[in-house]
Amino acid sequence: MTRTFFKVVSSALLLLALAYSINVLIPSDYGPTKLPKTKHTGHWDLPTGSKIAYTLVTASGLRKPHPIIFLQGGPGGYITDRTIKSLSPLSEEGYDIYFYDQIGSGQSDRLEDITEYSADRHQRDLKEIIRLIGAEKVILIGQSWGAILATLLMSDHPELVQTAIFTGPGPIQPMRQGMPKVSAPDSLNLQDAVYSNTEANEKWRTARIDLVAFWAKSFGAKLASDEEMDGFQTLLDGELNKATVCDSSKALKAERGGGFYAQVMTVRSLRGIDDPRPKLKGLTIPILVMKGQCDNQPWGAAKEYLELFPNHQLKIIPGAGHSISVEQPEVYLETIRDFLKQTQPAKIL
């Protein structure tokens, strides 16, 4: 009786171990593998070794001296036609506008050595892009992580930035302890997001995803292909999009293009960067901070930008979440346009 019992238990445990191994080790299929191709896409081969896909919307009429570079959120975010369309009208004001997929995302190359995905690499890529387009200075529009990337460039190369616009800015890194608990003034009438990034991540969390992420962060190696993991990132992005709006029914459907390894490894690298705050504090570069009324980023993140940059404006956008352009596209565009009219030199090329 005892021997039979142990045989049954051993067999059951073996089957459970086998089922777990299959679940963890066998690649998953997350749908279509083809990337959507944005219009007018070209490529830059940067001295950093990055091959970067970009789209240029050229200025109409008399060209302003400082082009706009849009920095997408993420890390591992990508440029969509909707993103390009939302800001393209600024070209009618005389601005060349550059949109690019950061290394490891969209139509830009994936790196075999994933330890190269870092905040420093992204900053060096951006610096080389500014040099490549021949701009003395640029206007940066940074969404979420894009705002963090902008601050890293500005801390080391403030001479390259004419103006910066931060939309739904993420916390300046390394993140300060206690920042998420900073309360916003009641007068701003901020509201909590209806859905959180944590809920989105937990919904699609699996043992295989945990193992692949752990392997990447611990050993700097891919346990699964870029194709598989970028497919998962698309699935996750669709869920995360629900956390970026006030009304989750208006959340965007994710397109394939997110870079899983770029996201995981860049976030990992942020823990080891030098604090940019001492270099940023007191910079007189004109800054606009735009924050949706129900942005899922803590108020303390936006507050720190206001404290560091004395020449700032703050605009709270009612009826919008983290991705302001989704629910309030007209207000998003007009707020940026008005700020540029106030802060940019009248000189034209």
- 29 is a domain residue: no
- 166 is a domain residue: yes
Residues 102, 51: Cα–Cα separation, whole Å:
9
- 229 is a domain residue: no
- 130 is a domain residue: yes
- 8 A C-beta contact, residue 76 and residue 105: yes
Q: How many domains does the chain have?
A: 1
The percent of residues in the chain predicted with pLDDT above 90, rounded, is 83
pLDDT tens digit sequence for 207-245: 999 999 999 999 999 999 999 999 999 999 999 999 999
- 59 is a domain residue: yes
The structure tokens listed for 3 are: 């021997």
pLDDT tens digit sequence for 8-50: 555 545 544 444 445 566 777 787 767 777 777 899 999 999 9
- 105 is a domain residue: yes
Residues 100, 107: Cα–Cα separation, whole Å:
9
- 129 is a domain residue: yes
Kindly report which listed range (18-32, 175-189, 251-265, 274-288) carries the lowest average pLDDT score. 18-32
What mean pLDDT, rounded, does the chain reach? 91
pLDDT tens digit sequence for 267-321: 999 999 999 999 999 999 999 999 999 999 999 999 999 999 999 999 999 999 9
Residue 6, pLDDT > 90, answer no
Three-state secondary-structure class, residue 290: strand
Instruction: Tell me, yes or no, if the pTM score tops 0.95.
Output: no
Q: Using 50, 70 and 90 to split pLDDT, how confident is the model at 349?
A: low
- 245 is a domain residue: no
Nearest-CA neighbor of 300 among 187, 184, 189, 147? 184
* Full residue range of the structural domain in which residue 185 is found: 41-192+265-343
CATH number at residue 276: 3.40.50.1820
